[in-house]
Amino acid sequence: MLISAKLAPTFDYPVLDRFWRDADELGFHGVWNYDHFYGLVDPQQPTLEAWTTLAAMATLTTRARVGCLVSSVTYRNPGLLAKMAVTVDHMSGGRLDFGIGAGWHEDEHRGYGIEFPSPGERVEMLDEALAVIRRLWTEDSVTHRGRFFTLQDAIANPKPRQRPHPPIVIGGGKPKMLRVIAKHADEWNMPSSGAADWATTSAALDEACAEVDRDPSQIRRSVQIFLHPQDPGQVDAELAKLTGYAEAGCQHAVLSFYQPPDRELLKRVRAIGSGP
């Protein structure tokens, strides 16, 4: 199982810098952040912007994949997001994993004056946005007139370092979202809710792949595990669940830390995984 490390940009920049460098030096598969404007536990918690910090991660690491788990489709025009992603892909030397989802944090949308459509509409937005983004990454120019987005002879150069494009990682688990994942994703991620629930959703993704005529083996299966380093017992209990996920077919675990881990804890959790 591949092991990646994640820390939200809710800590002082030097703390983030040390975490990214340590995770990279220790050989984690990837280093991740998240895309929110407020702290999730405390809305008043200072929170740095996701893609700006992702660009810093790209330059301060040399081996690990970098990505945002996950960006909300509602926060940025897909043409702009496609350009941002290509920029980070070039800055990292072709190490970007493009994480995206339908969004869920209503208070952030209201606070920033961003439209917050119904869940079904947000999933449809994601489907359309991904079609636009993939075209911008691979075509000379793009004209698109859809339900949510309009582009006219849009040019997006340079193209990504990774060809045909950076791997697309989508988070979600509801039936309508699984169809979008089946169409577009190179990797599917689901927050930890138990190996049995994860396996049931993974099987549902197989069914969604059959509906869109996609080989389900083309989509890597991953889970996000939440760890609280200030509570060693909680960390031990969550790490013990990784065996069950692996047995259920999980190929990649993203360990999301609620407090910055020290280097010794990072060494310990890195040793659980296999592969680069």
DSSP string over 168-235: EEEE--SHHHHHHHHHH-SEEEEE-S-HHHHHHHHHHHHHHHHHTT--GGGSEEEEEEEE-TT-HHHH
Query: CA 84, CA 87: separation in Å to the nearest integer?
Result: 5
Average of per-residue pLDDT values in the chain: 96
With 80 as the cut, is the pLDDT of residue 266 above it? Answer: yes
pLDDT at position 188 over 90: yes
Segment 259-267 shows an average pLDDT of 96
Beta-strand (E) ranges in the chain?
Answer: 2-7, 30-33, 65-68, 71-72, 96-101, 142-145, 150-154, 168-171, 187-191, 220-227, 252-257
Quick check: 86 and 158 in contact, CB under 8 A?
A: yes
Record the tokens describing residue 276, joined without a space: 């680069």
- Tell me the CATH number of domain 2-273, given options 3.30.540.10, 3.20.20.30, 3.30.365.10, 1.10.3720.10: 3.20.20.30
Instruction: Say whether pLDDT at 276 is over 80.
Output: no
Work out the average pLDDT over 58-84. 97
How much is the average pLDDT of 172-188? Answer: 96
Pairing of strands 65-68, 96-101: parallel
- pLDDT tens across 200-237, in order? 999 999 999 999 999 999 999 999 999 999 999 999 99
Residue 39 predicted with pLDDT over 90: no
- 50-64 pLDDT, tens digit per residue, is 999 999 999 999 999
Q: Is the pLDDT of residue 87 over 80?
A: yes
- CA–CA separation, 235 vs 84, rounded Å? 34
- Report how far residue 100's alpha carbon sits from residue 168's, in angstroms, rounded to the nearest whole number: 8
Q: Name residue, tokens 């449809």.
A: 124
Residue 179 corresponds to which tokens in the numbers above?
Answer: 């169809």
Phi-psi region at 275: left, alpha or beta (left = phi > 0; alpha = psi -120 to 50): left
